[in-house]
Structure 1
Amino acid sequence: MRVAIVTESFLPSVNGVTTSVCRVLECLRDRGHEAVVLAPRPAPGSWAGYPVLGLTSVPVRQFPVGLPTGEVDAALAGFRPDVVHVASPFVLGAAALTATARRGVPSVAVYQTDVPSYLAQHAPGPVGRGAARAAWRWVRHVHGLADRTLAPSSAALAELAGHQVPRTALWTRGVDAATFHPSWRVDAGTRALRRALAPRGEVLVGYVGRLAPEKELPRLARLAGLAGTRVVVVGDGPSRTEDAALLAAAGLDVVFLGRRDGDDLARAYAALDVFVHTGTRETFGQTLQEAAASGLPVVAPARGGPLDLVDHSRTGLLFDPDSADGLRDAVAHLAGDRAKREALGRAGRARVERRSWAGVTDELLGHYAQVRTSRTAAR
């Protein structure tokens, strides 16, 4: 099968969209399919043996946003794909889906980024609500061009249905359970990191992810003064300076480790005792899976993607994000009970260790085949 993947985000930017696209490409390669990637510049010239076509972009909040030029249509026409996979469509994706609809090429759109909620957050009040309504109109239009929209969680599916987005289906995400593994805890580098972070045996409570307003990292301020704990933040992004200042002003004992990748990221997870997710606008929550694969109990808001990923009181704890004490109470409960932490961590690992990228890519190939068949039958 010839697959064109058009993505709003790609390397060197690292986020959930990029990770999903990279893992899918690796699995497509292993199964012998042909592919090409269309992504905003800057981008590497190739990935997983496939060509990557860098398209015109402009920087927005340290993030390259592709422009809907004629490059997209020309690239698709030149490659002649059997199916077009559009990752988190908004600008480049809209251009791609417009082209596929015009040419009659089967298409799959992956809904992964809750842009309307982000706009509402960045511009609170009437302006933000108006921007969110306009964004949902655009999302409905763009996804309406696709033969099928795939959403990563039941919450995302419900939201799409509530905004009359048609032809939706569930497609979750895999996790690299070999890279993220409890065995990293006995690694010399992990032990050294833990000694540096917890010299007095503190319980390490960690967040991993991009540092941006929509991640709601200031929620961690609720953990200030929690006896015997220290907060560790792994990641980088446009809100790092602001988040660090706010958390310091709240008196939180926090260490920022910056961005980590590969084995260093696996060590960072393994050095922790409790993983905390703060955002309420996640359509999924890939770091929750990575933490679980690392054998960590997870604490997350009872909203959005985490509802599918956290089995409350079995693999982690869900807290009410509208409660002033919800996050603190959940973390305090786990910080004071090592046996509970270890039991939840084991259960979390067992739940995700078979959720491979190979398996979810096979599901994706099934969706590709179905939209191709539907297009053929409609002719």
Structure 2
Amino acid sequence: MRILVITESFLPHMNGVTNSVLRVVDHFAGQGDDLEIIAPQWPHADRFWRTSGGRRVRVHRVASVPLAGYTDVRIAAASATGLRRRIADFAPDVIHLASPTILGGRAVVAAQKAGVPTVAVYQTDIPGYTAKYGMPFLEAASWQLLKDVHNRATVNLAPSTATRDQLAAHGVERLALWRRGVDTSLFSPSLRSARLRARYAEADEKLVVYVGRLAPEKQVADLQVIHDTPGVRLLVVGDGPERDALRRAMPRARFAGFRSGTDLAAHLASADLFIHPGELETFGQTIQEAMASGLPVIAPRRGGPVDLVTPSRTGWLYTPGMLDELRDHAADLLFDDAKRLAFGRAALDSVRKRTWPVLAEQLRGHYATAIARHADVHQRTVR
């Protein structure tokens, strides 16, 4: 196939959207497909990305500006006309829209005019973010924007059953389920390191880890209830606008900053328990990575984690906002070694077959569905 990927986020900024794009592009390039990427401009950003197999994938950068108050997020300002020219130049069989909002919204209009099928991948709960950033009055408008964008797409993919149902309730059509893969060759219990662990915790302490952005929507401040538990050390891996405030609020916690690759995998494997307190996760990629590292997981009973965590087997889900439940579930696992290890083994077993190659080929199937559906609509229009 010839696949054009249009993404709201890309390197050098690494987040869930960027990671998914990199994984699927790497897989398809390795299978011989032709790909190009359209992404927001960053200062000194590369015009090509080299895959693990050595292929160079062209990255077209479009003008963008940083989001006020969160400069890691860029808002692209490309026109539908300019995007249509890019589409015509590459002549793709299908267009992959990664977390479409502003750039993706213009791209899906351009794709319609160019007569190219689109697959829109929903990843970011923007309506939910508006409340976390003090703008709840924008929630309804955000849902209307997402509905308008996605209902122009040929196929819409949701990462979890809860998210699929939420999108359907807000009027989004032509929905299917597509989850995310995990690199089980990278994330593994074999990377557990006593030396690394000793850097963050005393020998008699249990180590609880969180991995993700330090931003309001992740609710990292909720981990205060873990920070204050005797005999427990909290390890926070990641960076973001709330870093300094979190350091002040949780002085006993260890802050490791942004980590990636084998370094990140070793940090996960060296902990005892993974907790993700964010209630706006459409999927929960770091949850899968923790499970592949042999850790049980605690997360809110909302959104993506509901599909990933099996209570009383691979971890616990707690009622959103009920931090006493979070604390009690953590104590249940941290101070019962046999139960924690059993949950960790079950967590690892649950993700063994969720590799990126498997998920990428599922995505290829959704591309084929979009192409066939588009051809069928075109034939009926001609008749």
Both proteins in one fold, TM over 0.5: yes
Percent identity, aligned pairs only, is 45
- Structure 1 residue aligned with 2:255: 256
Unaligned runs of 5+ in 1: none
Count of aligned positions: 367
2-side partners of 1:341 and 1:212: how far apart? 29
2-side partners of 1:261 and 1:46: how far apart? 21
Residue 182 of structure 1, CA deviation? 0.6
- Structure 2 residue aligned with 1:288: 287
Q: Please give the per-residue CA displacement for 1:162-203, whole angstroms capped at 9, x wherever unaligned.
A: 100011100000000010001111xxxx32111121223210
Q: Is the 8 A contact 2:88 2:114 kept in 1?
A: no
Q: Is the 8 A contact 1:321 1:327 kept in 2?
A: no
- Structure 2 residue aligned with 1:92: 103
- Structure 1 residue aligned with 2:11: 11
Q: Is the 8 A contact 2:180 2:359 kept in 1?
A: yes
- Structure 2 residue aligned with 1:105: 116
- Structure 1 residue aligned with 2:36: 36
Q: Which sits farther off after the overlay, 105-114 or 193-202?
A: 193-202
Q: Does 1:50 align with 2:20?
A: no
Amino acid in structure 1 at the alignment position of 2:351: V
> Where does 1:204-215 land on structure 2 (aligned, <5 Å)?
204-215=207-218
Q: Which sits farther off after the overlay, 281-290 or 113-122?
A: 113-122
- Structure 2 residue aligned with 1:358: 357
Residue 354 of structure 1, CA deviation? 1.1
2-side partners of 1:288 and 1:324: how far apart? 19
Q: Please give the per-residue CA displacement for 1:313-347, whole angstroms capped at 9, x wherever unaligned.
A: 10111111232301111111111011111101100
Q: Is the 8 A contact 2:234 2:254 kept in 1?
A: yes
- Structure 2 residue aligned with 1:368: 367
Q: Tell me the SS of whatever aligns to 1:204.
A: strand
Residue 44 of structure 1, CA deviation? 2.5
CA RMSD across the alignment: 1.1
Q: Is the 8 A contact 2:95 2:117 kept in 1?
A: yes
Residue 224 of structure 1, CA deviation? 3.5
Q: Please give the per-residue CA displacement for 1:30-64, whole angstroms capped at 9, x wherever unaligned.
A: 21100000011124322222111111110111222
Q: Is the 8 A contact 1:73 1:95 kept in 2?
A: no
- Structure 2 residue aligned with 1:66: 76
Residue 222 of structure 1, CA deviation? 1.4
Q: Which sits farther off after the overlay, 168-177 or 330-339?
A: 330-339
Q: Is the 8 A contact 2:182 2:289 kept in 1?
A: yes
Residue 74 of structure 1, CA deviation? 2.2
Q: Tell me the SS of whatever aligns to 1:200.
A: coil
Q: Tell me the SS of whatever aligns to 1:36.
A: strand
Q: Tell me the SS of whatever aligns to 1:325.
A: helix
Q: Tell me the SS of whatever aligns to 2:323.
A: coil
Q: Tell me the SS of whatever aligns to 1:178.
A: coil
Residue 285 of structure 1, CA deviation? 0.2
Q: Tell me the SS of whatever aligns to 2:327.
A: helix
1-side partners of 2:223 and 2:83: how far apart? 41
Q: Tell me the SS of whatever aligns to 1:5.
A: strand
Q: Does 1:311 align with 2:273?
A: no
> Where does 1:109-258 land on structure 2 (aligned, <5 Å)?
109-123=120-134, 128-185=135-192, 190-248=193-251, 253-258=252-257
1-side partners of 2:160 and 2:46: how far apart? 30
2-side partners of 1:225 and 1:137: how far apart? 42
Q: Is the 8 A contact 1:231 1:254 kept in 2?
A: yes
Residue 68 of structure 1, CA deviation? 2.9
Q: Is the 8 A contact 2:87 2:114 kept in 1?
A: no
Residue 103 of structure 1, CA deviation? 1.7
Unaligned runs of 5+ in 2: 379-383
Q: Is the 8 A contact 1:7 1:93 kept in 2?
A: yes
Residue 292 of structure 1, CA deviation? 0.2
